[in-house]
Structure 1
């Protein structure tokens, strides 16, 4: 038996060969490890460094390792928020020639935290509601893509800050299964598992004293079901409108866009008597604002971050002399957008020293600065400008927030 590395990128095997595969993960020396917070897992998991990348390494049997590797690649192809699968390492032997379990290697999701690390300081109920929102959106996106999770829980999710809210990422696909379409029974099964798992995890936090006293674990477990069903209904229901009221259809599409989803295909049917029109979105893709921001600026951000950045971009564009919507002589939106990136976004983000940014990505930093500008402008009763907001943020806000921005050791 020889060591084998199956990887998505031809560069990864060479980097991974430097790691001590002849040792069980529990015995890896500290020099190879990265001290990042870990969630609860039925398997041994370690964070390590491979070249310039931080990776998560999980020991498990060969068949489930290869299966999860393929499922994560499928989710990536479907643009579902999940960790990136990098490799599967098989044929591991210890110094005595005894076989060791294979490992699945994934890329660490920068700026993310497992839920238990977030509860090291007691979370306010409002923050927990935002976590439930993020997890409900993730579950809906998975189900729209035909993916039955089979073990939806807080433990199998990573959370990353997204413009005052959170984005949820699937981190464990071991129990998942991909289908062309999910039945109502399959969706209900996932949802019931989510309710039971989340209630159990919160009861565990309550027993350890880490849960806010006003939070009812059972109610919060039930809450994700209500949030999921509300979002699923909005995304998939059939609407019936009076004939000729086509602006109602546009209003429905705009409402879906506001939720962060694109209507890629639609079905419109006229009633036989001609009095009504039925409209149902046939295919709904998530990431409406993400794609719009990426197309205009080349910036890749979370959905809420993208929405906030687009609003700022549109406000800035309206102040430019060569901005003339619909005028062929005016500057194209893409031209102005790249000018905004060059003249506004990048200089603003770079004003925050790299060593003070912690785990925040550029889009989140810019969102924080916009929020601070709004707060100072409200207090001053006039727009204080972005430069002044940045100066005040660096002096009065960032030093106090620095500890919470950086991931803590396990």
Structure 2
């Protein structure tokens, strides 16, 4: 069987990679050193034409299956890595067949959970990771996906305005259905609980866990967080006909969790004068969509919320409350956001995403103003942030040459 690449590769040089060599033995000049999670398969990163690709060696059947599933998840706008191609028909230099390869696009600014660690994993960092994973699992279940192997290791994390956003990176065991069954949903939660407990025990054995963290207690938190979010999104609420402010409160709670409401299903309960209200939740990203619609900026949910808060403050401080929202957003981009981004020296722009960088500048301005007992202004805050904070941050976009040796 001849070598075959199936998919939508954006770079023709992908086919020229040394597919006749086992991935584990690829020459270093083809590879870039990026932090990897724990995987049962060989995974390497290759850089071509300014893009970085993750390549996983896996048997043909599972490579094709995972590619199709990742493609379906991308189509459904679900947080997951983007599939690029499947390479089959690989033969070694000795004529022996080699496993197929799944090629995905590397998610910029993303890190496996071990790379998030700075020394020992602290409780507050772990809590944010578990919150992000719970949101991801709920989103997948709302989409109809049974993951089958939910864990920290099978997830990538991106910083999101002080929190994290989680992305599925390994869908080898996943199944997509029109609607997930209760049995599948509960099994996914049980698997997540067991996997996370094992991962935390592994960190504890390696001295990478803060002494205040009990692996069992924190592993149980993923279950609690998941159920709390799932119930908020799916439970019926009985209200009196006159209490419509409760409906509004429910929608606001969902928006705060990052979920939008497409419509409300309202029905009268037999024999009573009360109504049962159930919001139909279609997707997460309420603030993301508003920010994208107004400004064209594509950010994570918490980042979008923070930027929109600053936009709303700009509207109020400039007495633009009666102005069209789109016009205000255009002015905010030109007068606030872009000047901050362009003030960053070119050599430092790979440190953080633009939205995360802007969020950190706003935080820095707040702390400086608190200390000075007055508003120091954005220009002063940006200069101080660059000098005292940004220059000391690791470059999350750049290629990290020695991180693997440090972590593994």
The aligned residue for residue 372 of structure 2 is 380
Distance between the aligned counterparts of 1:97 and 1:117, measured in 2?
Answer: 38
CA contact (8 A) 2:352 2:395 kept: no
Q: Aligned-pair distance for 1:405?
A: 8.2
1:201–1:109 CA distance, 2 compared to 1 (3 A): same
CA contact (8 A) 1:6 1:89 kept: yes
Tell me which moved more, 272-281 or 383-392.
Answer: 272-281
CA contact (8 A) 2:351 2:394 kept: no
Q: TM-score, normalised by structure 1?
A: 0.94
Q: Which residue among 252, 255, 276 is the counterpart of 1:254?
A: 252
**Superposed CA offset, 1:345-391 (max 9, x none):** 12201212232244411000000000101111111222111111101
Q: Secondary structure at the match of 2:16?
A: coil
* Unmatched runs of 5 consecutive residues or more in structure 2: none
The aligned residue for residue 186 of structure 1 is 184
Tell me which moved more, 169-178 or 390-399.
Answer: 390-399
CA contact (8 A) 2:81 2:169 kept: yes
Aligned pairs for 1:383-394 (under 5 A) are: 383-394=375-386
Aligned pairs for 1:98-109 (under 5 A) are: 98-109=96-107
Q: Aligned-pair distance for 1:175?
A: 0.2
Q: Aligned-pair distance for 1:48?
A: 0.5
Q: Aligned-pair distance for 1:222?
A: 0.7
Alignment of 1:343 onto 2:335: yes
The alignment covers a number of residue pairs equal to 402
Distance between the aligned counterparts of 2:351 and 2:395, measured in 1?
Answer: 10
Distance between the aligned counterparts of 1:282 and 1:49, measured in 2?
Answer: 42
Q: TM-score, normalised by structure 2?
A: 0.95
Q: Aligned-pair distance for 1:324?
A: 4.3
The aligned residue for residue 68 of structure 2 is 70
Distance between the aligned counterparts of 2:391 and 2:183, measured in 1?
Answer: 50
Q: Aligned-pair distance for 1:180?
A: 1.0
CA contact (8 A) 1:60 1:101 kept: yes
Distance between the aligned counterparts of 2:233 and 2:351, measured in 1?
Answer: 33
Distance between the aligned counterparts of 1:373 and 1:59, measured in 2?
Answer: 47
The aligned residue for residue 45 of structure 2 is 47
**Superposed CA offset, 1:231-282 (max 9, x none):** 1111111001111221211111111111110011221012345521110113
Aligned pairs for 1:1-400 (under 5 A) are: 1-9=1-9, 11-12=10-11, 14-119=12-117, 121-273=119-271, 275-320=273-318, 323-325=320-322, 330=323, 332-400=324-392
CA contact (8 A) 2:120 2:210 kept: yes
* Unmatched runs of 5 consecutive residues or more in structure 1: none
Q: Secondary structure at the match of 2:275?
A: strand
CA contact (8 A) 2:80 2:168 kept: yes
CA contact (8 A) 1:373 1:385 kept: yes
Distance between the aligned counterparts of 1:393 and 1:364, measured in 2?
Answer: 13
What is the Cα-based RMSD across aligned positions, in Å? 1.6
Q: Secondary structure at the match of 1:17?
A: helix
1:403–1:110 CA distance, 2 compared to 1 (3 A): closer
